[in-house]
Structure 1
Amino acid sequence: MGSSTGQPGQQGWDEEVDLLIFGAGAAGMTAALVADHEKMTVLLCEKTGMVGGITSTSGGTTWVPGTKLSVEAGVPDSVDDARRFLQSVVGARGGDAAREAFLQSGPLAIDELARISEVKFVAATAHPDYVNGPGAAYGGRALAPAPFDARALGKDFARVRPPRKEFMGLGGMMVARNDLNMLLAPFASFANFRRTIAVVGRYAMDRLRYPRGTQLVMGNALAARLFYSLRKRGVEVRFDTPLVELVRESGRVTGAIVATPGGGHRRIGARRGVVLATGGITRHPTLRNRFFPTGARGLSLAPETHTGDGVDRARQLGANVENGGDSPGLWMPCSIRRAPGGDSSEDSVWPHIILDRAKPGLIAVNSRGERFVNESNSYHDFVMGMLRDAQGGDGPSVPAHLIVDAAFIREYGLGLLMPARSAGRIAAFERSGYLVKGNTLAELAAKLQVDAAGLARTVETYNRAAVDGKDPAFERGSSPMSRFNGDARQQPNPCIRPIGAGPYYAVTVWPADLACSAGLSGTANGEVLDHGGNVIPGLFACGNDLASIFRGTYPGPGTTLGPAIVFGWRIAKFVAQRCRERGTSRAQGQSVGLKRRKDSCNASSVAIN
């Protein structure tokens, strides 16, 4: 469908609000919360029956420099340091104004959300930036959402998208990172046993009343906290209501046509603007192929419903789509355990984030049997190494193979296989085809269809330097982030030790997108731009619908959620401030279908430029 045209007042709205928002992820829910706080009438339309989008299935870490939370955590951070850091990482790739807006607004947004809602974060004392450079931080910038007791939501708990099944234990139990080691070794100490009993006991009680555990952590906690805050404020979230068409009158976006759960259409006017936060282009049927390299098109961590609706409807109005700079996507290397019977929807996909790649005694090789990247790099940079070592994004390092010895499996596990001493448990992963075993490197190479001579040379070269904890080829273990994710017991380098005698094991990993860098061009206030760089009045974008301010780089943990929240906040603040500056008042009359209206835009001391 194209855009509707006509004269103001001729559209025959079924209802009218101040701000109409599409997409109930972190960005959209933040914009709705802040707009409501600013005394605007708000309607949040969600395509599916649940809130959260990819926020719900993410780790939930939110990268915002310079907050008071960093001071409270004892690792004070500054915006000035973050500015120097981003200049070193992003350089001259562009987007300076938007990044500066993010830096200036980030602390204000996090502080205000804590005051007006149940959205609470805690600054991590140790969660290093992913790239070395001047101004890089070891802690303080990565904010973790506080755990949330979903029992507070009552029946609305069913509206929170569950995390990935691979991240839940016992069929529905979420486990915080600081509890994981205890639960993996419950009999190692009395403290471990006591904590295991507490966590599992709580979960057992939950399952008497709920379909999964109610102790939420990571991105699931963040999504639930945002949703709970909207419910407390009475902000309407309309489910199963996808965007069909944007409406433009006299050059300005004034509303939208949506599909209703009953199968019809509804016309909704938006006096102050329409906000797109629909999850980006990750599963758009043509834009994915247009922007994504060949080797990275096959696997996505985004929900199936993230088909680029917001970006697509904006394009119909002439909006510009950026290619994402260095990379159109932000990546994770993932292994796949195929489901019995061949039903791909039941496959288990494991993102290799922190538990194995940086640990000592693992190498990643391509089809030539050669290493091609620093295995302890961030998940994004690891995949960038896979894609660089390829022609057109599809070559010898797509897929890649993570190779370890038996001692590694016992200590650290590998992918979906948690630390394992049971031969039967290891054999089950072998039988499924997920884990490949070779008594010799030659046997392993044959099963992986990897060059055997190349693999033998690689292991020999790696082991020779690893005896002294060195990696002259890739400098593994040289960054604070890689050392943090390694094993401090291994000295002198927590990321390096020789690979021992056989048997050897491997899992195969593929590139998967966790978010977009490509997206709609926008201003520092999230206003969508057309091909000529002009603002499309009344149209805003945030989250993955908006092109990344980091231009395809991935500076640190949570650098997708941080901008999503901050630009959702900025859009609401900008619209409210413009309302006040123009001295406008709300149109009179009763809005159809909304529970309440408010008197005027709230006075605010925050200037959005």
Structure 2
Amino acid sequence: MSRHAQCDVLVIGSGAGGLAAAVAAAHHGLDVIVAEKTETFGGTTAFSGGWLWVPNAPHAVTAGKGEDPEGPRTYLRHILGNRYDSGMIDAYLEAAPRMLDFFEKNTAVHFLPGSAMPDFHGNLPGAAKGWRSVVAAPYDGRALGGLAGRLRQPIPETTLLGMGIGSGVDMRMFLTATRSFRAFAYATGRVLKHARDLAFHRRAMQLVNGNALVGRLLRSAADRRVRLWPNAGAHDLLRDGPHVTGAVLKTADGPVHVVAKRGVVLATGGFPNDADRLQALLPHVQDGTPHYSAAPVTNSGDGLRLAESAGGRVSRTMTDAAAYAPVSLVPRPDGSLGRFPHLVERGKPGIIAVMASGRRFADEGGPYHDYVREMIAATVPGTPAVSWLVCDRHFLRRYGLGAVKPAPVPFGRWLRNGYLIEAPTIAELAKRCGIDPAGLVATVEAFNRNAARGEDPDFHRGTTPYQRAQGDPDHRPNPCLAPIVKAPFYAVKIVPGSLGTFAGIDTDAKARVLDGAGRPVPGLYAAGNDMNSIMGGHYPSGGITLGPAMTFGFLAAETIAAGDAAQEARHEGEQDAVQSQS
């Protein structure tokens, strides 16, 4: 990199939103640079499940599962309430299927249909039981060549010795490997291939989930000669009057001034690790409860600060400013703490979540965002928000618990480092966790009586399609409920965390950054978690982050490639006015 550079489009950040913008812009013939703050590409997307919520996706339409757009609109209206922005929602529902069609036909990015992935709130009008989501198709990382070493790896604790486990069939095979010869053979084959990859490539090459999505986007970017610059964080924006004309990047060799002739796209991953903005926007942080995001620690609000420096504004109207997820803190050999997002095992039969009182407070297997909401609401004022997931030996070895993997993977180190608490009785487990023993014993006894009948009169687990999809289809009568009876008993401490942030830069339906008066800032765009969530601080379904991220990245590229005639006309009008005055 020289100390000065030029391009048509500068994308700051390399998650799904930024890479989608880069690939689409390059497809339109534009010269694109992607500047990534860290040494690896992928951002939060590389940690994610790789799901996109896209009603009427081409996959659904081809399978005869298309629907009237009023269905998803109805569903979103019931969840978003007065946060429902018809302009942004309509733009998304129209453009998202086009976006998928573009990537499927023109790039290495491909998806599989989520035919059985339900919306989170199946009891609401307009909710669907499936076909509104797609997931990145698995990808052979060897196709990346030298770029494979620049792909951000998944959160270590969510993998099996570094090997990602895909949702759906892949995960089910691993969970049933000790109960089915077919599943055992499948899992063994995957592990052997992973061992080969470690020997020859020093990392997993069977890419799944968000890692597969980023890998496919990187391959597509490289195929279109997008310049991918690691270790190049943005420090300042370059401006010519109100127009954003580029940015100053911080590199190991000093600052690089990049002139972007057509536009700058901010896609730096929001502010999940910006302590000041978390303090300003998250009420539980204001009340003294720390927040632990599972997003990369380098996602610290750079894009938001850059937008504000050019007149952009960050929304304070979100119902929740972060995409909440229950997180456990995992001790690592180097003394640091990993942050494990509990997205899967909470819905399986034989587990409950309790507060310090020993009482349950939520449907354990419900949406992860709701779990944290309810945990915070149940917290005694003046005390930190903390809960515990409690299970027995049968559950632990069958499904695992957080970073603890199911059988036959040993778990002694988790007991030794204090991550996993074990006790011979429920009362003793409560004492070791700091939970009220009488309260927990009473809760487990009541839960067990009902669970044996497949019932949950308190929180109705297993009564919606999403809850049942999170359960175990082999367990009867309710795939989400089983008594907690087989000693010893186990617990893991849960704290408030997130997968990313919702509050972001205000934009219009073309992904153009808006100033305080609601006017586009010329030359500046936002996508991904830097852009204010169109979901208003709610979490209606899986994929409502990556779906809009890629869609509005795609729309930003379309807008830039089209030259944004309206913006150009305004600029010309301003010039004419200045000339006439002179």
SS of equivalent residue, structure 2 residue 201? coil
Instruction: Work out the CA distance in 2 between the residues paired with 1:579 and 1:536.
Output: 12
Name the CA shift for 1:539/1:236 in 2 (closer, same or farther; >3 Å).
Answer: same
| Aligned Cα root-mean-square deviation (Å) | 2.3
2:370 to 370, 381, 389: 381
Distance 2:510 2:81 in 1: 22
Contact 1:358 1:482 in 2 (8 A): yes
Give the SS at the match of 1:91.
helix
Q: 1:229 is matched by which residue type in structure 2?
A: S
Query: Per the alignment, in what secondary structure is the counterpart of residue 92 of structure 1?
Result: helix
Q: Residue 580 of structure 2 corresponds to which residue in structure 1?
A: none
SS at 1:246 equivalent: strand
**Aligned counterparts of 1:297 and 1:417: Cα–Cα separation in 2:** 24
More displaced stretch, 493-502 vs 506-515: 493-502
Q: Which amino acid aligns with 1:149?
A: D
**Residue 391 of structure 2 is aligned to residue 401 of structure 1:** no
Please list the CA deviations of residues 237-292 of structure 1 after superposition, one character each: whole Å capped at 9, or x if unmatched.
122211111122222212222223312x2222222221100111111241122112
Return the alpha-carbon distance in structure 1 between the equivalents of residues 349 and 178 of structure 2: 25
Change (3 A) 1:128 1:15: same
Determine the structure 2 residue equivalent to 1:349. 339
Structure 1 residue 361: Cα displacement: 2.0
* Alignment pair present for 1:528 and 2:506: no
Equivalent of residue 444 in structure 1, options 429, 454, 460: 429
Task: Output the TM-score relative to the length of structure 1.
Answer: 0.87
Shift of 1:573: 1.0
Question: In structure 2, do the counterparts of structure 1 residues 486 and 274 end up closer, same or farther at CA, with 3 Å as the change threshold?
Answer: same
Q: CA deviation at 1:547?
A: 1.0
- Tell me what 2:576 maps to: none
Tell me the residue number matched to 1:514: 499
CA contact (8 A) 1:65 1:82 kept: yes
Equivalent residue, structure 2, for 1:562: 547
> Which of the numbers 418, 424, 435 marks the counterpart of 2:405?
418
Cα deviation, 1:374-403, whole Å, max 9, x if unaligned, reads 1111111111111222367x746x210111
**Distance in 1 (alpha carbons) for counterparts of 2:536 and 2:558:** 24
Alpha-carbon contact 2:421-2:491 (below 8 Å) kept: yes
How far 1:109 moved relative to its partner?
0.5
Are residue 287 (structure 1) and residue 277 (structure 2) matched? Answer: yes
Q: Does 1:154 align with 2:141?
A: no
3-state SS of paired residue (1:478): coil
Counterparts of 2:429 and 2:159, CA distance in 1? 31
For residues 55-107 of structure 1, give each alpha carbon's deviation from its aligned partner in whole angstroms, at most 9, with x where no partner exists: 11111111111111123456444533211111111122243311111111000
TM-score normalised by L of structure 2: 0.91
Determine the structure 2 residue equivalent to 1:482: 467
The structure-2 alpha-carbon separation of the partners of 1:187 and 1:486, relative to structure 1 and needing over 3 Å to count, comes to: closer
* 1:427-479, Cα deviation, whole Å (9 max, x unpaired): 44322212212222221111111112222232233233333322222122121
What is the distance in 1 between the residues matched to 2:403 and 2:567?
57
* Structure 1: 5+ residue stretches without partners: 1-12, 585-609
Given that 1:332 and 1:380 are in contact with CA atoms closer than 8 Å, whether structure 2 keeps it comes out as: yes
* Paired residue secondary structure (1:32): helix
Output the CA distance in 2 between the equivalents of 1:291 and 1:568: 25
> What's the offset of the Cα at 1:538?
1.7
**Alignment correspondent of 1:462:** 447
**Distance (whole Å) between structure 2 residues aligned to residue 92 and residue 15 of structure 1:** 45
* Paired position in structure 1 for 2:456: 471
> SS in structure 1 opposite 2:238?
strand
Q: Which of 309, 332, 335 is equivalent to 1:339?
A: 332
2:286 aligned with 1:299: no
Identify the range of structure 1 (91-100 vs 239-248) with the bigger mean alpha-carbon deviation. Answer: 91-100
**Higher mean C-alpha displacement, 282-291 vs 296-305:** 296-305
Tell me the CA shift for residue 421 of structure 1.
7.3
Q: Is the 8 A contact 1:469 1:497 kept in 2?
A: yes
Q: What corresponds to 1:91 in structure 2?
A: 81
Question: Aligned partners of 2:291, 2:564: CA distance in 1, in Å?
Answer: 45
2: CA distance, partners of 1:366 / 1:70: 41
8 Å CA contact 1:360–1:487 kept in 2: the answer is: yes
For residue 556 of structure 1, give the secondary structure of its aligned residue in structure 2: coil
Secondary structure, in 3 states, of the residue corresponding to 2:78? helix
Matches of 2:62 and 2:390, distance apart in 1: 41
Map 1:2-401 → 2, pairs under 5 A = 14-73=4-63, 75-132=65-122, 133-170=124-161, 172-177=162-167, 178-186=169-177, 188-263=179-254, 265-292=255-282, 293-294=284-285, 297-323=290-316, 325-340=318-333, 343-344=335-336, 347-354=337-344, 356-390=345-379, 395=383, 398-401=385-388
The percent identity for this pair of structures is 38
Tell whether the 8 Å contact from 1:374 to 1:474 is kept in structure 2 after alignment: yes
Q: Which moved more, 1:440-449 or 1:454-463?
A: 454-463
Distance in 1, matches of 2:486 and 2:539, equals 36
Structure 2 spans left out of the alignment, 5+ residues: 570-582
SS of equivalent residue, structure 2 residue 96: helix
SS of residue paired to 1:506 = strand
User: Quick one: structure 1 residues 501 and 225, their matched pair in 2 at CA, closer, same or farther if it must change by over 3 Å?
Assistant: closer
In the alignment, which residue of structure 1 is the partner of 2:575?
Answer: none
Distance 1:497 1:213 in 2: 35
Normalized per residue, which structure has more helix? 2
Q: Tell me the secondary structure at the aligned position of residue 372 of structure 1.
A: coil
Count of aligned pairs between the two proteins:
562
Task: Return 406-415 or 515-524, whichever deviates more.
Answer: 406-415
For the Cα contact (< 8 Å) 2:294–2:340, is it kept in 1? no
Cα pair 1:289 1:297 within 8 Å, conserved: no
SS in 2 for 1:179: helix
Q: Which amino acid aligns with 1:478?
A: T
